[in-house]
């Protein structure tokens, strides 16, 4: 009987030990299940991230294709621009021998634009004086035409007045032609100066001197403003374009003076 009780006690202890181990294993399994659930959640999150990265990769691939097309287009444009620059460089090299001579002819090759500016001032002053002379002669011819146009005092114009009117007209035409020629020369001179300044600005830009380029551009703008101001202030425009008006008035005055003379001759007859 004692042996049976000892056997039962041993079995009970063994069962309790097994139950404790089973409980411990169940707790461990529960922990492992929690870890597995967390890992599954992480896997789901990572799968969503991977899908998002796939969409981003697709968008980046499309953008890369567009950029490659733009790069190809810009490469072709760059090739054409390089070809244009090479052609321009070859033309500039061909004109390299002719340009210094043209600049020296314009009196700006020595780097002294004041000389050319002084010469322009002298030309403008000469043209201004010439325009004043033309205006004075125009007023004189207008007075002569008014004398010819009076009705009763002058029955027949004398030969000396007619000759003086013709001479005055010829002188005016000569002065106008001379003024137009001087004006053309002055415009050519201004054009050469502008071209030379543009060439100097281009050289400064190529040499990489932005400060000197800005100063030269400002000087060019001021010089052009002064030139336009002098041209606007000069009275050349009115005499050159209106010098032919007195001639028409003189011709009309001659016609009016001839009509009364013809009427008087008919009445006398």
Per-residue pLDDT tens listing for the chain (269 residues): 788 888 888 888 999 999 999 999 999 999 999 999 999 999 999 999 999 888 888 899 999 999 999 999 999 999 999 898 888 888 877 776 665 555 555 544 444 556 667 777 787 777 777 777 777 777 766 655 555 444 433 334 444 455 555 666 677 777 777 877 877 888 888 888 878 777 777 777 777 655 555 555 555 555 555 555 555 444 444 443 444 444 444 444 445 544 444 444 444 44
**Contact yes or no for 143/134 (Cβ under 8 A):** no
Q: Could you tell me the pTM of the whole model?
A: 0.27
- Between the alpha carbon of residue 260 and those of residues 39, 128, 132, 151, 217, the distances in Å are 126, 41, 36, 7, 66
Length of the chain counted residue by residue: 269
**Contact yes or no for 260/155 (Cβ under 8 A):** yes
Q: What pLDDT is attached to residue 108?
A: 45
Other C-beta atoms within 10 Å of 125: how many? 12
């Amino acid at each position: 009987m004692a042996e049976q009780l000892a056997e039962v006690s041993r079995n009970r202890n063994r069962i309790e030990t097994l139950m404790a181990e089973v409980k411990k294993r169940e707790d461990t399994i529960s922990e492992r299940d929690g870890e597995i659930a967390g890992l599954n959640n992480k896997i789901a999150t990572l799968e969503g991230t991977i899908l998002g990265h796939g969409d981003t990769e697709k968008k980046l691939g499309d953008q890369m294709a567009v950029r490659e097309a733009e790069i190809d287009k810009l490469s072709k444009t760059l090739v054409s621009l390089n070809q244009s620059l090479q052609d321009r460089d070859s033309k500039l090299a061909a004109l390299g021998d002719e340009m210094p001579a043209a600049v020296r002819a314009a009196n700006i090759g020595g780097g002294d634009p004041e000389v050319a500016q002084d010469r322009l001032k002298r030309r403008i002053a000469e043209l201004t004086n010439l325009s004043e002379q033309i205006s004075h002669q125009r007023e004189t011819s207008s007075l002569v035409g008014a004398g010819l146009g009076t009705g009763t005092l002058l029955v027949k114009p004398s030969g000396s007045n007619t000759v003086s009117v013709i001479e005055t007209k010829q002188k005016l035409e000569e002065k106008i032609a001379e003024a137009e020629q001087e004006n053309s020369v002055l415009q050519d001179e201004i054009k050469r100066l502008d071209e030379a300044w543009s060439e100097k600005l281009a050289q400064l830009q190529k040499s990489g001197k932005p400060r000197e380029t800005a100063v030269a551009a400002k000087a060019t703008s001021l010089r052009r403003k002064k030139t336009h101001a002098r041209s606007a202030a000069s009275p050349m425009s009115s005499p050159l374009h209106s010098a032919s008006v007195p001639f028409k008035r003189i011709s009309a005055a001659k016609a009016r003076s001839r009509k009364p003379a013809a009427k008087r001759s008919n009445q006398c007859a």
